[in-house]
Copies of this chain bind each other. A is one copy, B any other.
Amino acid sequence: MHPRRLGILRYLALRARTEGPPPSVREIGLEVGLRSSQTVHHHLLRLEEEGYVDHVGRGARTLRLTGKGWEAAGNMALLGRIAAGRGLEAVAFGDEAYSLAAELLSGRSGRRSYLLRVVGQSMVGARIEDGDLLVVEEDEAPADGAVVVALLGGGDEVTVKRLYREGEMVRLRPENGEHEEILVPAEEVRIQGRVLYVVHPPRRSPSGDGS
């Protein structure tokens, strides 16, 4: 991905998560450092050809990120499915999830946020279960005891745990008796964000259906 275009996508994502209209062409230029509206226009055309952006109607500020665009922008980053146990699974999302996130976040501190889908049962004690959506706000220094998204092993591994700092060490505690705590040096873990909300449908009926 062209770095300029990536910058544009990121800015579009930022604006989409912020209250207010999508940016104008010149606003984009101002943001990403392009002095000619034409240049922005040029990149926008490419991005539209390649399916990263969209137009909803005609007129001013009708630009919109597509699903592909959100993905490429990265900072919306349904990073992937969080494995309570191990590993990062295939990224999976839908437009509904995006728009859900977009508004859950609007009006917030300006911090970036995103959605994750949970895989695993290690946090059932915090009402987080397999398949739930998490609304995560980026925050590298949340309070002790917060439920956080942590990156381990240089980013290869993502997990949701409750955070406790202990000097040079970081304790990541699951909330499920069957899972074990992780205790690692602070350098080896990067706190990515804090879980703001858990979103899920009501539990399926014991017998019947309803969904």
Contacts and interface: CB of A to CB of B under 8 A. Distances in A.
Interface residues of A, number: 54
Interface SS majority for chain A: loop
A209 B144 CA distance: 7
A12 to B, nearest CB: 13
Identical chains in the assembly: 2
B103 A107 contact: no
A120 B24 CA distance: 46
Interface of A: 19-22, 24, 56-57, 59-62, 64, 95-96, 99-100, 102-104, 106-107, 123, 125-129, 142-147, 162-164, 175, 194-203, 205-211
Given A146-B210, A198-B199, A198-B201, 18 more contacts: A20-B56, A20-B57, A21-B21, A21-B22, A21-B61, A60-B60, A99-B103, A99-B104, A103-B104, A125-B203, A125-B206, A127-B203, A143-B211, A162-B210, A163-B210, A195-B201, A198-B200, A198-B202
